[in-house]
Amino acid sequence: MSRSLTSLWPSSKREIVCRPRDGMGWATEEGWEPWLPKSRQRLLQVGRIRRTRTKNEFYALLMHTLLTGGNLNCGTDGGLRINKGTFGLVISVEDKIIWEGCGPVDGNPETASSKRSELFGYAGLLEVLLLMDTLMLPPKDTYPTTQVNTFIDNISVVTQLQAFLLGYRPKRAYPHDADIISHIRWLWTQLPRFNHEVSWVKAHQDDKINFNLLPLPAQLNVSADALATEYEMNAKHPSNTPRSQPAFFSSANVCLSINTQRITSQYSESIRFHINGTKHRAHLQKTRPNWKSDAVWNNLDMQGLGISFKSLDTPLQHFTTKMLHGWLNTGHQREKLTKDSLCPCCQAPDETFEHILRCKSEASETARKAALQTISKLDKRGSTTWRVLHQGIKNWLQDGEKMKTPSLDHYLMMPGQRILLETALTNQEKIGWNYALRGYLSTSWVDSEHIVNKQPHDGLRQTWLRTIIKNIWKFGKTMWTHRNSVLHSKTTPQKDLTESGVNAQIRSLYEQQHDFAALDQVIFDTPLEVMLTRPIRSKKHWVCLAQRYHPLTYDRKTGKQNLITSFFPRLASRHKATKPTRHQTRRKQPKRTRPKKKQPFTRSSNRQLRRQFHVAPD
């Protein structure tokens, strides 16, 4: 076992007293572990005899159970905190706990789960049983079968293990957490003297009932949970903490690696993200020129964004996806189809999502003020980093791109925090404060908060940053809901709002009448007063027609008009004939004709004549 963890339990010597082996001296756990691969050593990270049991008592109880075929009641539990898992296990004979152990759960933090922690706890229990069986009992002797009853508080793990014990195969060729599952199934084959049974037990029963009054399965579960928590709090050395790169279990036969990182679950999602991640980056950098620099892209806190996104329900994920990529049905987006980009609240000509957040109409101002009051409640937590970020957001909402960077002179800061806040403001300005309202924040904000809150960066993203991003999204959702309430209002008909915007466009085009080519000014033959009284559909059609005819270049004005020299006879030149110009050599393109329509079916003329001379019978 790892020597760096002996300080956790200095009163216990992690050694199992066994019978002597021929020519090998005393067989101990210390001599067994170095021969194991690293993956199995991690499952035996920490183990000890129960503090209330002596070595002789432990040896007597365990040997009596193994030799007579008694029952071993065991409890395992796993915990997950800030994407880092730990497990604990206890073994009891009758109602006396004789052995306890704990350890880390290795694996990719992005795919960590409590189920994997529970599986590690059960695998650690089987490793201990295999250790005791190998060191205490001769391999050739026969003994009665020992019953092992294990109690786990995760119903998903219990259901899966029960199906495996009944002989069922995994439902998938390569299930989630296949490495630890394959190792558990291999350990069962190495323990033929034991009969395994897995049962579910309710967790945390000691919250309402005294521990001594609980039944044995509940006590075992509570003890295992306490060991997992103890390991999490005391294991600080890097060699003892959970590793993001799990060791390979030889029983798994195969593993999936992406960029040298072993993937233990969510295989399809990981592969899809790896393939589409490059395309996603290319799309964002193409639509947002400020992000083309690698320095700006690497400064985006995509990890915090992903953590916040996964905590949303499905309908909010759909809305947030459209908001992040600018796919909401704003006027700017709708203009591609209907040529109508007006804001329904203030009749601004181009309605983007940023305009919705900053709309200057009276109703929007009221809705924005109420939404900002909800965000302001986060100021009560006393986080200087959040207050600076909040001030920057308010400055952008008020002044847009002309905003002033928040001053840091009026904030209480820890030593060294001012430099990090200045860096965060600079980096956020490069990313864009308008994108901060979509949740794209700089990683420097977490660096600044880390000075005050000593949590790891991943922990801050799980708690502090996730709360901020979700509140920012909630603000955007509120403004979008207000905009839709105006667009589909029953008190103020949308028809009046739309028609007023179209009338404004018509007046503007009539004022630019002299900028149109002479041949195109026929569309202004109708007086303005008459045009404004026409139906809304007719007026929209006229606006589209006028915008199509609107002159944008010199060629639009003169391209189809005859040159003034064409009205005068050509003068004879005494000089040699010059090379004809490109305009003179241009051949006239033949007129494009459509194929004739197929004639509809007609009756035969003879049949019509026969009907005409048909005489009715008398």
pLDDT of residue 591: 65
Minimal CA–CA distance to 345: which of 466, 541, 538, 489? 489
**Which residues pair with residue 105 across a beta bridge?**
85
Q: How much of the chain exceeds pLDDT 70, in percent?
A: 82
Going by C-beta distance under 8 Å and a sequence separation of 6 or more, which residues neighbour residue 181? Answer: 119, 160, 164, 170, 175
pLDDT of residue 170: 78
Minimal CA–CA distance to 220: which of 234, 198, 201? 201
Residue 3 pLDDT level (bands cut at 50, 70, 90) = very low
User: Mean pLDDT over residues 475-485, rounded?
Assistant: 93
The DSSP-derived string for 382-442 is: --HHHHHHHHHHHHHHHHGGGPPPPP-TTS---TTHHHHHHHHHHHHHHH-HHHHTTT--B
Question: Residue 132: inside a domain, yes or no?
Answer: yes
pLDDT of residue 119: 93
The DSSP-derived string for 514-550 is: GGS-GGGGGGG-S-HHHHHTS-HHHHHHHHHHHHHH-
Please tell me what DSSP assigns to residue 340.
-
Question: Residue 580: inside a domain, yes or no?
Answer: no
Question: Residue 236: inside a domain, yes or no?
Answer: yes
Question: Residue 334: inside a domain, yes or no?
Answer: yes
pLDDT(584) > 80: no
Q: From 531, 553, 575, give the residue that closes a domain.
A: 553
* Burial (Cβ within 10 Å: 0-12, 13-18, ≥19) of residue 76: buried
CB atoms within 10 A of CB 596: 6
Distance CA 374, CA 152 (A): 42
Distance CA 384, CA 285 (A): 31
pLDDT of residue 356: 94
User: Are 342 and 382 in a shared domain?
Assistant: yes
For residue 92, which amino acid is it? S
Please tell me what DSSP assigns to residue 442.
B
User: Are 23 and 121 in a shared domain?
Assistant: yes
Distance CA 105, CA 84 (A): 7
User: Are 123 and 30 in a shared domain?
Assistant: yes
What tens digit of pLDDT does each residue of 72-116 get?
999 999 988 877 899 999 999 988 899 999 999 998 888 888 899
**Which residues pair with residue 256 across a beta bridge?**
263
pLDDT of residue 169: 82
For residue 261, which amino acid is it? Q
User: Are 473 and 498 in a shared domain?
Assistant: no
**Phi, psi angles (nearest 5°) of residue 257:** -125, 135
pLDDT(595) > 80: no
User: Are 517 and 396 in a shared domain?
Assistant: no
Question: Residue 35: inside a domain, yes or no?
Answer: yes
The chain-wide mean pLDDT, for the chain, equals 82
pLDDT of residue 612: 56
Retrieve residue 515's tokens. Answer: 């900028």
Question: Residue 273: inside a domain, yes or no?
Answer: no
What is the CATH classification number for the domain harbouring 68? 3.30.420.10
pTM assigned to the model: 0.60
Distance CA 469, CA 436 (A): 9
Residue 184: C-alpha distances to residues 73, 148, 191, 483 (Å) = 18, 14, 11, 56
Distance CA 436, CA 320 (A): 14
Minimal CA–CA distance to 161: which of 173, 149, 174? 149
User: Are 231 and 369 in a shared domain?
Assistant: no
User: Mean pLDDT over residues 413-439, rounded?
Assistant: 93
User: Are 479 and 511 in a shared domain?
Assistant: no
pLDDT of residue 187: 93
CB 421 within 8 A of CB 388: yes
CB 375 within 8 A of CB 336: no
Question: Residue 587: inside a domain, yes or no?
Answer: no
pLDDT(7) > 70: no
User: Are 541 and 456 in a shared domain?
Assistant: no
What domain range is 500 assigned to?
494-553
Q: How much of the chain exceeds pLDDT 90, in percent?
A: 37
Distance CA 218, CA 151 (A): 8
User: Are 161 and 188 in a shared domain?
Assistant: yes
pLDDT of residue 397: 94
Question: Out of 12-21, 199-208, 427-436, 520-529, which region has the weakest mean confidence (pLDDT)?
Answer: 12-21
pLDDT of residue 315: 92
Q: From 460, 487, 514, give the residue that closes a domain.
A: 487
Q: From 487, 508, 538, give the residue that closes a domain.
A: 487
Minimal CA–CA distance to 103: which of 201, 205, 243, 206? 243
Retrieve residue 297's tokens. Answer: 């892209």
User: Are 505 and 437 in a shared domain?
Assistant: no
Looking at per-residue pLDDT, the higher value among 29 and 276 belongs to 276
Q: Give the three-state DSSP class for 104.
A: strand
- Strand intervals (E) in 334-434: none
pLDDT of residue 344: 85
* Burial (Cβ within 10 Å: 0-12, 13-18, ≥19) of residue 46: buried
Residue 588 pLDDT level (bands cut at 50, 70, 90) = low
Question: Residue 609: inside a domain, yes or no?
Answer: no
pLDDT of residue 581: 55
pLDDT of residue 13: 34
pLDDT of residue 499: 76
User: Mean pLDDT over residues 401-419, rounded?
Assistant: 90
pLDDT of residue 465: 93
Distance CA 499, CA 159 (A): 63
The DSSP-derived string for 150-168 is: EEES-HHHHHHHHHHHTTP
CB 506 within 8 A of CB 532: yes
CB 95 within 8 A of CB 72: no
Retrieve residue 305's tokens. Answer: 């964004």
Retrieve residue 396's tokens. Answer: 């952008």
* Burial (Cβ within 10 Å: 0-12, 13-18, ≥19) of residue 378: middle
Please tell me what DSSP assigns to residue 91.
E
User: Are 464 and 510 in a shared domain?
Assistant: no
pLDDT of residue 238: 85
Number of domains the chain is built from: 3
What tens digit of pLDDT does each residue of 105-160 get?
998 888 888 899 999 999 999 999 998 888 888 777 788 899 999 999 999 999 99
CB atoms within 10 A of CB 101: 26
What tens digit of pLDDT does each residue of 488-500 get?
876 656 666 667 7
CB 357 within 8 A of CB 397: yes
End-to-end CA distance of the chain: 121
Going by C-beta distance under 8 Å and a sequence separation of 6 or more, which residues neighbour residue 129? Answer: 72, 91, 148, 191, 194
User: Are 63 and 152 in a shared domain?
Assistant: yes
